[in-house]
Amino acid sequence: MFQKLLKVQYIIMSYNIISYVIYLPITAWITIYVGKVCFVNGRAYLNQILHNRSELVNSINSSLLLGYYLLNIGYAATMLSFWPEIHDFQNLILELSRRIGLIIISLGLMHYFNLTVTYLISKKINKQSQLKTSSS
């Protein structure tokens, strides 16, 4: 079944191109989705840190989002040049899942790093505000 299906496709394109066509939309979608979630939910943190100055919050938030997109979509696209030659359907699934998994896991690690940084910043700010209230 697979063989018959893929023989038709083999004339048109190689396995590598099929894998690129699957890989690029999936990683782009995941990156954009995660960026959106962080953009919407990070606003609460920025409001807390910057004391609700909404203009500053908006500009910082959108420039952070832009930087995140550039970094991650660039990373995903650069991975294409380290792609091995794929000869059969089994290797196609294996390589695709490996590469997408690597991208997703590095996104996750970066996400946790960001959470830690925001936690540390908000802790520092809490301490400062406590000092202020106790001294006054």
Partner 1 sequence: MNNQIIIIAYCIYLPVSIALTFYVAKSLFKNSKVFMLDIFNGREEIAFSTNKLFEVGFYLLNVGFALLILEFNVNLTDYQLMIEKLSSKIGGFSIYLGIMLFLNLYLFFRGKKKSKENRNIHTVSQGIA
Which DSSP string corresponds to 54-66? HHHHHHHHHHHHH
Binding string, residues 32-71; x marks residues near partner 1 by CB under 8 A: --x--xx-xxxxxx--x-----------------------
CB of 55 to partner 1, least distance (A): 19
Whether the CB-CB separation of 102 and 80 falls below 8 Å is answered with no
d(CA 81, CA 56) in angstroms, rounded, equals: 39
Binding string, residues 75-94; x marks residues near partner 1 by CB under 8 A: -------------xxx--xx
d(CA 130, CA 136) in angstroms, rounded, equals: 10
| Window of 7-15, 66-74, 75-83, 96-104 that interacts with partner 1 by CB under 8 A | 96-104
Whether the CB-CB separation of 65 and 35 falls below 8 Å is answered with yes
Using CB under 8 A, list all residues that contact partner 1: 2, 34, 37-38, 40-45, 48, 88-90, 93-94, 97-98, 100-109, 111-112, 115, 126, 134
